[in-house]
Structure 1
Amino acid sequence: MITGATRGIGRAGAERLAAEGADLVLTGTDPGRLDDLRAMFPDAVVVANDASSPTTGSDLLDAVGPRGIDGLWLNAGFAATEPLAEVDAESFDALMATNVRGPFLQLAALAARLNTSASVLVTSSTSAYEAGPTTAVYAAGKAALIAAAQTWASELADRGIRVNTLVPGPIDTGFRDFMHPDTRAGFERAVLGNVPLGRVGTPGEAAAFLLSEDASYVTAAQYAVDGGLTHR
């Protein structure tokens, strides 16, 4: 299962896993993009699911039905920037409901369906380490996921279930399209100035390894896909 699979690294991951023969359950919120997923992955179960909903976990449980889960990628989320003085309860709660509470409720509901030796992957962000201006709420949410994944790894280890965190940096996913083009261009120039590899990553440079049995001895890890940004 991949939440937030309609675009970016979620969709790229779905393409990779489908090519390797996985049976997929894919989620998203945009009706048009969900239709695109159904056309691209005719054998997949494609369902509308809003990670900000209090019923996101139980809704996913209904979508899975009685089947067990070998891989769960908690990827749904959105980015937003806001100067500190403009943060209010509404904007804070909206971001945290999707980016933090959503994965908590989803994993809580689906944990019993995870097969022995299953893999859970949580999408965080290098924003948790960058200390970028106006990103405080988003960065705090992504840092919370890193901390949560550490404890989930401990709690589920006795079932052989692995929990790891994917920490993508500047990936070409359209994730920053909410920004004004001038702001986005300046932001990306500033970020790329700190990336040793000097380029934006592509969505395919992510996830499949940690979901596979090739990573059977990897858990509680933070796997940076960032061109060296966080290690500079």
Structure 2
Amino acid sequence: MARFEGKHVLVTGGSSGIGLAGARRIVAEGGRVTLTGTDEQRLALVARELPTARVLRNDAADPRSVDELVDVAAADPLHGLWLNAGYASVAPAEQTDAGFFDAMMAVNVRAAAIQLAQLSPHLSDGASVVVTSSTSAYEGAPMTSVYAATKAAQVAAARVWAAELAPRGIRANVLVPGATDTNFRHFMSEEQRSGFESSLLDRVPLGRIGTPDEVAAVALFLLSDDASYVTGAQFPVDGGLLRR
């Protein structure tokens, strides 16, 4: 397959997990990839693995970081924009404070909104935007109120972007991963992760955690011309957890 031949795709948060799995596939299918991350060691490893990719250290928490992405897109317009950067942290509702709230909103919501705003002029007509949300937006799991709110905000924003970008033939869709075998829950102890995954699997009809490749495959469908008549939609990749 060569679905991305001649196309340039920007993947934020692409140095590990789902984003990296997608970047690998885009390169394998003939595309040009720019990916971002904050971990220098991971970025160095990715640069060696994917020598044709443009690998940038870019911190989504800093509003000024979008300037570098605009420079890249101005020089090589985007056919795909995958807003995948984000992080999770949990706390009981009564322990939520301004710092906790603002930090997660800055990365998961503000960054995506600013990146879309600034990069929009550099999206080719007919391009695709994919936003990575989470089943947490719908689960109502204890201690996830702020994280779930950020992911719900992404869904709401993407629905509006789909309408606003449609006159240019640009599509905007939401990827909704469930539990996936990545380092995303690194903030949990091994015991916490094991307990979380055991309780979750009781509710997942397929009875297992997903892989980054399985989730990325759906993102690549949405980024490709295979999804040319799909916009404003949400795609759970969760083993049947939500059954939406």
Give the alignment's TM-score, normalised by structure 2: 0.93
Aligned to 2:183: 174
Would you say 1:138 and 2:147 are equivalent positions? yes
2:197 alignment partner, SS class: helix
1:37 alignment partner, SS class: helix
Aligned AA (2:56): V
Aligned to 2:120: 111
**In structure 1, distance between residues paired with 2:40 and 2:121:** 29
Give 5+ residue unaligned stretches, structure 1: none
Percent identical? 56
Q: How far apart are residue 83 of structure 1 and its match?
A: 0.8
Aligned AA (1:15): R
Aligned to 1:209: 221
- Matched-pair contact (CA < 8 Å) for 1:56–1:106: no
Aligned to 1:229: 241
Q: How far apart are residue 41 of structure 1 and its match?
A: 1.1
Q: 2:68 aligns with which of 59, 75, 93?
A: 59
- Matched-pair contact (CA < 8 Å) for 1:56–1:105: no
Higher mean C-alpha deviation, range 89-98 or range 180-189: 180-189
Q: How far apart are residue 64 of structure 1 and its match?
A: 2.9
1:174 alignment partner, SS class: coil
Aligned length: 232
Q: Considering only aligned residues, what root-mean-square deviation do their CA atoms show, in Å?
A: 0.9
Aligned AA (2:122): R
Higher mean C-alpha deviation, range 52-61 or range 123-132: 52-61
1:10-51: CA deviation from partner (whole Å, max 9, x where unpaired):
000011111101001010000111111110111111111111
1:224 alignment partner, SS class: strand
1:196 alignment partner, SS class: coil
Give the alignment's TM-score, normalised by structure 1: 0.98
Give 5+ residue unaligned stretches, structure 2: 1-9
1:78 alignment partner, SS class: coil
Runs of 4+ residues over 6 Å off in structure 1: none
- Matched-pair contact (CA < 8 Å) for 2:74–2:122: no
Q: How far apart are residue 59 of structure 1 and its match?
A: 2.3
